[in-house]
Homo-oligomer: A and B are copies of this chain.
Amino acid sequence: MESKGNIVGIVGLGLIGGSMALKLKQSGFTATVIGTDASSLHAQKALELGIVDKVVAMARVLKQANVIVLAIPVDATKKQLPLVLDALGNKQVVLDVGSTKANIAEAVANHKNRAAYVACHPIAGTENTGPEAAFSDLFTNKVNIICDKQRSSTGALEKVLALTDHLGMRPKFMDSHDHDRHIAYVSHLSHISSFTLGQTVLEVEPSETTIFDMAGSGFESTVRLAKSSPAMWAPIFTENADNIIDVLSAYISNLEKYKAMIKNKNEEALREAMHQTNRIRKVLNDKNPNPNNQFPITNN
């Protein structure tokens, strides 16, 4: 796979774009990273932190980079991607990193340069944002989901697989609609449950000291995602609305069942429901399908 002589252009120099820039240079995928950001403050900061070699205008990214990464909110990606594809030459590749895939796939489904685009969702992140939050190991041993690979050219796909490998990630191939349905459960629901948990506590707890003093009892980890960026998450929720509404209905229904069990003081049923869910421990700890071989390039 080709990985010499790449010039990487990052559009959006936040946690994801910034971390990718750092790692792609460190791993030797590229010697030069250029970048752009809608916020000149972010761009300036990224330059100061050595995340990019040069901050340039979008037009220049499109002209100079052969690998272009869109690391911006999903609604912005939907708007920008067709324009990027308009400008692309036949040696260039563009990938995105968004948490919704079907809407973006649809926006470029009939574009003449569709094959130069590889739809990605690297499953990695923290609750922090901006170039200061970037770090080169964010992606290590994580999964990069690549959607609808049959719609990308062999050359574009190979380039992105090499990039995935240099990030220290395992690729996993999925259909974009399947991706959006699965991720609604495993990621988007977690964010909504955490945001509403934080909201509920803040609404009724007037004393911040009380929250702080009691937060050790599990609240701190369950509410972590409520620190996430509204600018990033609001578009994800609306772009994946249909799946998320299904998921929220299932979640609320389970909460109503707990409420009924508690109201009826049905300890036996509560114990059984919790016992069933304890199996998540096994799923999360013991199910690493590839503990000693994290970067197979072929995958189902």
A residues at B contact (CB < 8 Å)? 99, 123-125, 142-143, 145, 172, 182-183, 185-187, 189-205, 208-228, 230-231, 233-235, 237-238, 241, 244-245, 247-252, 254-256, 258-259, 261-263, 265, 267, 270-284, 287-289
Cβ contact within 8 Å between A192 and B223:
no
Partner of A270, one of B234, B247, B249, B276: B234
Contact A221 B218 (CB under 8 A): no
Collect the chain B residues with CB atoms within 8 Å of residue A281's CB: 227
Contact across chains for B223 and A190 when beta carbons are under 8 A apart: yes
Query: Looking across the interface, which residue of chain B has its beta carbon closest to that of A230?
Result: B274
Contact pick for A274, options B99, B233, B284, CB 8 Å: B233
In the complex the two chains form, is B280's CB within 8 Å of A200's CB? no
- B217:A190 contact, CB within 8 angstroms: yes
Given contacts A217-B99, A217-B190, A248-B255, contact A280 B235 (CB under 8 A): no
Q: Choose among A193, A202, A209, A211 the residue with the greatest number of B CB atoms under 10 Å from its CB.
A: A193
Report which residue of A143, A198, A215, A280 has the largest number of chain B beta carbons within 10 angstroms of its beta carbon.
A280
B218 touches A284 (CB 8 A): no
| Set of chain B residues within 8 Å of A187, measured between Cβ atoms | 214, 217-219
Cα A145 to Cα B201 in complex, Å, equals: 19
Chain B residues in 8 Å Cβ range of A142: 216
Q: Are A205 and B185 in contact (CB under 8 A)?
A: yes
Complex CA–CA separation, A278 to B172 (angstroms): 32
Nearest chain B CB to A29 CB, angstrom units: 21
Neighbour of A255 across the interface among B226, B252, B259, CB < 8 A: B252
A237-B270, A265-B238, A287-B209 are known contacts. Are A218 and B201 too (CB-CB below 8 A)? Answer: no
- Find A198's partner among B199, B221, B227, B280 (CB 8 Å cutoff): B280
Name the residue on B nearest A204 (C-beta): B185
**Residue of A185, A201, A274 with most partner-chain B CB within 10 A:** A274
| Given A255-B248, A274-B228: A189 touches B193 (CB 8 Å cut-off) | no
A299 to chain B, nearest CB (A): 10
**B200, A254: Cβ atoms closer than 8 Å:** yes
Q: CB < 8 Å: which of B200, B213, B261 contacts A189?
A: B200
**Please, how many angstroms separate the alpha-carbon atoms of A204 and B256 in the complex?**
18
Contacts of A254 in B (CB 8 A): 196, 199-200, 203
B258 touches A217 (CB 8 A): no
Residues of B within 8 A of A249 (CB): 259
